[in-house]
Amino acid sequence: MDEDQTIEALKSMKKSDFQNICSELLENMGFEISSLENRDGSLLIEGEIERGGRSREYLIKCCRDEDDLKEEVTQLHDILSGDKHGLYLTTSLRDKPIEKTDRIEFVGGTPFYKLLKKLNMISAIEDIKSSKTDKADVIDDETNLQDETSKIKSLGEKGKKAYKEQEYLKAVSFFEEVVDIDPEEEAAWNNKALCHLKIGDHEKAMDSIKKAISIDPDFEEAYLNKALIHEKTGEIEEAKRSAEKLIDLDPKNPEYHYIKAAYQKKLGELEEAKISVQEVLEIDPDFEKAKKMHEELVEETKVSDVGEAKKELEKRIESLEEKNQELEEKIKEKGSKIEELEKQIDREKEIAEAKIKEKTDEIKKLQNQIQKEKELKNEKVQEKEEKIKELKSEMENIESVTSDDLEEKESRIEELEDQLQEEKEMKNQEIERKEKRIEELENQLQDKGDATSEKIKEKEEKIEELDDKVEELESEISNLEKKKKQSENKFKMEKNRLRNTIKLKQERISHLQEENEELKEKLQRSENEEPSTQKKKKEAVEEFQKLKNVGPELANRIYECGFEDIEELKQASKKELSEIKGMGTALSEKIYENLHED
């Protein structure tokens, strides 16, 4: 097939066949087609393409030659975000004056044909064309595919026109005709749902939108309208879920995060709404509606916190009053018990006094007994002293007797010493005999020494070998000790690293706690501020936010550092600006330049 035949075949084939060809084309180009999105009959996909030696992120749209191509290109330009570029793949651009832009490239007609041919897609188009030719006898000439496509397009345009003119019933009839011709036309189901919503028929609106989503589960516009229907019927939680689905489909779209935040705000989920708004501002810091909502949420959170604190205080007061009543009742009960105890104490006191009297009498009796026993003991002590005197005299007699025994023992010791001296001399003589025997044996050994010298050499060689082995073992031990030291050093380094990490985390926790205390103090100060001061602060913060790179939080910090208007901020030096919390050197220089541009 040549270029003209290929382009004509693409234009005349069924929409579903054309979409299949585009899906296969994009897959052959290396894109993950699971992220493919069908929007108003065209296919959209995101991905990177390497061109001119560098990679760029593209949003690619694939469609057939359409009369409203200029409008479609404008819509593609509107949905581009960040550094994305647009790539428009279409069957033809002839007779379609399209304004060239830096961010959108066009591949149509001959380049489109060459791309199909390069990726071996012509045979797939030929297969679809031959299949269509085989069925030509069955298809009525008046209802062929080209007429069907043009009729769907014509009815769709009429439906859109009627919708713009607020003739919603008429628009519904046009879109119903479209889905009768092609039940898989998801855009028509979506537009039909919008018409039912305008009429107030929420049930039919929901049925139509569900049909559109069942055809294309990634149809973002359908989920937007589904959220709107739920909102109209008061099902805000369901509307929020639809917004979450939109975020899943396009996480970098700030509008979807803003819609979710709006529903969270309606549900009273103020903290969650603040998080969603912050996500919007991270994607697009100049999103004015998000900035305004953030301010409203901050104010509402304050009011909510004060209201909750007031309710909590009232509950505590009620609880204290109840406890006070309970205490009074308990005091009364204790008073009656105290009276009973006092009576009981008086009775026990009388009994105790009687017992004390009895004990006093007993003590007197015991004292008399003790006195008598004391006198008896004194008598016994005197007797024992006399016995001690007698024993002392006996000891003196014993000492005189033992002195004679000592003299006998001394003479015996002298005899024993004489015997020991004799034995010592005998031992010395024996030692001399043994020394002579040793000299004889040494002489005998000298004679045998020559015979054993060779054996000794052999032993020495073996000893040397053993010494070498010992050296090897010692070197291995040394290496192992080095490895051990290295392991110990690594362990110490890792231990120190972990300690530093723990220390840093502890410092971070301490820092966060300090920030938390600062926030509490700021909240307390803001609650105590007079209305005029709050108004002044709000005006100053709004004025600061007009500067580039200054968001709501940074604007608040500038005000809290003592700068009450732009004029005061202009008088500040770069160093003073950089000392503002969260500013930093680079950002302070940018803001300083913005302030002194005039």
- Residues near 46 by Cβ (< 8 Å), separated by ≥ 6? 35, 57, 58, 59, 60, 84
For the chain, what is the mean pLDDT? 78
- Which residue has better confidence, 448 or 461? 461
- Residues near 545 by Cβ (< 8 Å), separated by ≥ 6? 291, 551, 552, 555
- Residues near 565 by Cβ (< 8 Å), separated by ≥ 6? 540, 543
Residue 34 included in any domain: yes
Bridge partners for 56 per DSSP: 49
> How far apart are alpha carbons 10 and 355 in whole angstroms?
124
pLDDT recorded at residue 203: 94
pLDDT, one tens digit per residue, over 172-223 is: 999 999 999 999 999 999 999 999 999 999 999 999 999 999 999 999 999 9
pLDDT, one tens digit per residue, over 89-123 is: 777 665 455 555 667 777 777 777 777 877 777 88
Which run of H or E residues covers position 140?
A: none
Place of tokens 């979807």: 256
pLDDT, one tens digit per residue, over 552-562 is: 888 888 888 88
> How far apart are alpha carbons 37 and 65 in whole angstroms?
19
Q: How many CB atoms lie within 10 A of CB 41?
A: 20
CA atoms 89, 92, 98, 100: torsion sign: positive
pLDDT recorded at residue 540: 86
Q: How confident is the model at residue 408 (pLDDT cuts 50, 70, 90)?
A: low
- Which residue has better confidence, 242 or 366? 242
pLDDT recorded at residue 409: 60
Helix (H, G, I), strand (E, B) or coil at 43: strand
Over residues 568-585, the mean pLDDT reads 82
Q: Which of 76, 111, 138 is the last residue of a domain?
A: 138
Residue 28 included in any domain: yes
Q: Output Rg (C-alpha) for the chain, integer angstroms.
A: 54
pLDDT recorded at residue 60: 78
In percent, how much of the chain has pLDDT > 90?
23
Place of tokens 């940018």: 590
pLDDT recorded at residue 83: 66
DSSP string computed for 48-104: EEEETTEEEEEEEEEE---TTHHHHHHHHHHH--TT-EEEEEES--TT------SSE
Residue 516 identity (one-letter amino acid): N
pLDDT recorded at residue 140: 47
pLDDT recorded at residue 169: 93
Task: Tell me which DSSP letter residue 583 carries.
Answer: T
Residue 220 included in any domain: no
Secondary-structure percent of the chain, ordered helix, strand, coil, rounded to 5: 80, 5, 15
pLDDT, one tens digit per residue, over 74-89 is: 766 666 666 677 777 7
> How far apart are alpha carbons 115 and 146 in whole angstroms?
24
Asked if pLDDT for residue 146 goes beyond 50, the answer is yes
> How far apart are alpha carbons 272 and 506 in whole angstroms?
28
Helix (H, G, I), strand (E, B) or coil at 47: strand
Q: How confident is the model at residue 142 (pLDDT cuts 50, 70, 90)?
A: very low
Q: What is the CATH number of the domain that holds 544?
A: 1.10.150
Which run of H or E residues covers position 138?
A: none
pLDDT recorded at residue 264: 94
pLDDT recorded at residue 248: 94
pLDDT recorded at residue 43: 57
pLDDT recorded at residue 136: 44
Residue 252 included in any domain: no
CA atoms 460, 462, 468, 470: torsion sign: negative
DSSP string computed for 149-184: HHHHHHHHHHHHHHHHTT-HHHHHHHHHHHHHH-TT
> How far apart are alpha carbons 320 and 498 in whole angstroms?
50
Q: How many CB atoms lie within 10 A of CB 149?
A: 20
Residue 423 included in any domain: no
Q: Which range has the top average pLDDT, 132-136, 543-547, 594-598?
A: 543-547
Over residues 526-543, the mean pLDDT reads 75
Q: How many CB atoms lie within 10 A of CB 470?
A: 10
Which ranges of 135-285 does DSSP label H, i.e. alpha helix?
A: 145-164, 168-181, 186-199, 202-215, 220-232, 236-249, 254-266, 270-283
- Residues near 580 by Cβ (< 8 Å), separated by ≥ 6? 554, 557, 558, 561, 588
Asked if pLDDT for residue 128 goes beyond 70, the answer is yes
Q: Which of 70, 104, 138 is the last residue of a domain?
A: 138
Residue 550 included in any domain: yes
Residue 511 identity (one-letter amino acid): H
pLDDT recorded at residue 453: 63
Over residues 558-584, the mean pLDDT reads 84
pLDDT recorded at residue 446: 66
pLDDT recorded at residue 541: 87
What tokens appear for 348 in the block? 């026990």
Residue 376 included in any domain: no
Query: Do 87 and 112 contact (CB within 8 A), yes or no?
Result: no
pLDDT recorded at residue 436: 80
Q: What is the CATH number of the domain that holds 48?
A: 3.40.1350
pLDDT recorded at residue 318: 78
- Residues near 567 by Cβ (< 8 Å), separated by ≥ 6? none
What's the burial of 152, exposed, middle or buried (CB within 10 Å: 0-12/13-18/19+)?
buried
Residue 459 identity (one-letter amino acid): K
For residue 18, the enclosing domain spans 1-138
Bridge partners for 51 per DSSP: 54
User: For the ranges 25-34, 148-157, 397-406, 483-492, which has the lowest average pLDDT?
Assistant: 397-406
pLDDT, one tens digit per residue, over 267-326 is: 999 999 999 999 999 999 999 989 999 988 888 877 655 556 566 767 777 777 787 788
Asked if pLDDT for residue 53 goes beyond 50, the answer is no
Over residues 137-152, the mean pLDDT reads 61
How many structural domains comprise the chain? Answer: 2
Which run of H or E residues covers position 107?
A: strand 104-108
Q: Which of 92, 111, 138 is the last residue of a domain?
A: 138
Q: Which range has the top average pLDDT, 49-53, 63-67, 357-361?
A: 357-361
Q: How confident is the model at residue 52 (pLDDT cuts 50, 70, 90)?
A: very low
What tokens appear for 124 in the block? 């797939």
pLDDT recorded at residue 472: 81
Residue 556 included in any domain: yes
